[in-house]
Amino acid sequence: MIGTGKIKQYANVLDKPLGKGKQEVSLSAFAFLFSELVQYNQTQVDNISELETRLEDAGYAVGARVLELLCHRDKGNRRETRLLGILSFVHSTVWKVLFGKVADSLEKGTEHEDEYMISEKELLVNRFISIPKDMGTFHCGAFVAGIVKGVLENAGFPAVVTAHFVPVEGQQRPRTTILIKFAEKVLRREARLG
Amino acid sequence: MTTAACFIIASRNDIPIYEAEVGSAAKREDAAQLPQFILQAALDIVQDLAWTTSAMILKTIDKFNDLVVSVYVTDDRFMLLHDSRSDDGIKSFFQEVHELYIKSLLNPLYLPGSRITSSHFNTKVGALARKYL
């Protein structure tokens, strides 16, 4: 029979082994998929903030699953209980699995206690996207912000996560910053845990 | 080796998303809901305890008569009410169920936090319980 592969057919997805996750997907395939996602959502909404919300929700679903999978696969079933721990987990492990490299930088906000920023020179999802002038402040990085939000919330650190362009001197394209603002109860718990 | 045991997966907001009776002990008529009560009561303890350690399995956290509650924490809580003594068996049981749970979570059509209704999941949990408990 032509095409009989060596792959064992499993009756049910629950029987299939989880796998080592060394697969890579082609960038162009992802870019196409992502652009379709954005275009589809554009037809469904009336304004920009709704579009960003939809992208965030899509990312949230990804983030929830990525967290569970990574905890099981890479960290040998140890959870993060501290704020800095979960932030560095997002910054290195999650970024590495999703984008193939660690994020450019992780900074603590200076104005407020509960703000942190992850910066990236150019987000992978934005590489093939250009924003028309009339869309103003729209940022496709809302998808990545949603992923980070999904990871944080499902680890027990509820937060508001947004993506922003930050113009940088001497660079043509502005840097992208993901701003993470943690909820009150996270800070209180951190203080309690000392 | 099978003993009476009740296994519940509770979501982050303490809503049960999966329940199973495993084991072959006869059901007591007067206390049919007892396992659920005990596990619900243990949820408070889990919440406090979950933040003090970064390991995932919390061994025995509560006792009730001769029954013992063991908990495995990810973002959701896997809670097992049992009276068996083998710590290792329980640990392996939890890890295997965790893998099953991740696989059903990876389904993009599954809303995290909703009930798990797959009968295949049921069968597998039952088989694991017989194997490890």
- In chain A, which residue's Cα lies nearest the Cα of B76? A154
Alpha carbon of A109: minimum distance to chain B alpha carbons (Å): 25
Which among B57, B74, B120 has the least Cβ separation from residue A14?
B120
> Which one, of B98, B83, B99, B95, lies nearest residue B133 by Cα?
B83
Instruction: Kindly give the parts of chain A with pLDDT less than 50.
Output: 3
A interface with B, Cβ–Cβ < 8 A, is 12-14, 16, 18, 61, 64-65, 67-69, 71-72, 77-81, 85, 154-156, 189, 193
User: Structural domains in chain A?
Assistant: 27-193 (3.30.1380.20)
Q: Where are the beta strands (DSSP E) in chain B?
A: 5-10, 16-22, 57-64, 67-73, 77-82
- Residues B63/B71, Cβ–Cβ less than 8 Å: no
CB-CB neighbors (< 8 A) of A75 in chain B:
none
Do the bridges between strand A115-120 and strand A105-108 make them parallel or antiparallel, or are there none, so unpaired?
Answer: antiparallel
- In chain B, which residue's Cα lies nearest the Cα of A151? B75
- Output the domain CATH number for residue B45: 3.30.450.70
- Cα A103 to chain centroid distance, Å, stands at 11
Tokens of A146: 């949603």
Domain count, chain B: 1
DSSP secondary structure letter of residue B15: -
**Distance between CA atoms of residues B56 and A177, nearest Å:** 32
pLDDT in tens, chain B (133 residues): 345 677 888 877 777 888 887 765 555 545 567 777 777 777 777 777 777 776 767 777 777 777 777 777 777 778 887 776 667 778 888 888 888 888 888 888 888 878 888 888 888 888 888 887 7
**Could you read off the pLDDT of A11-63 as tens digits, one per residue?**
677 777 776 666 778 888 888 888 888 888 888 888 888 888 888 998 999 88
Tokens of A7: 């792959």
Q: Touching check for B13 and chain A: CB below 8 Å?
A: no
**Distance between CA atoms of residues A133 and B112, nearest Å:** 37
**Distance between CA atoms of residues B34 and A6, nearest Å:** 49
Q: Which domain holds residue B30?
A: 5-132
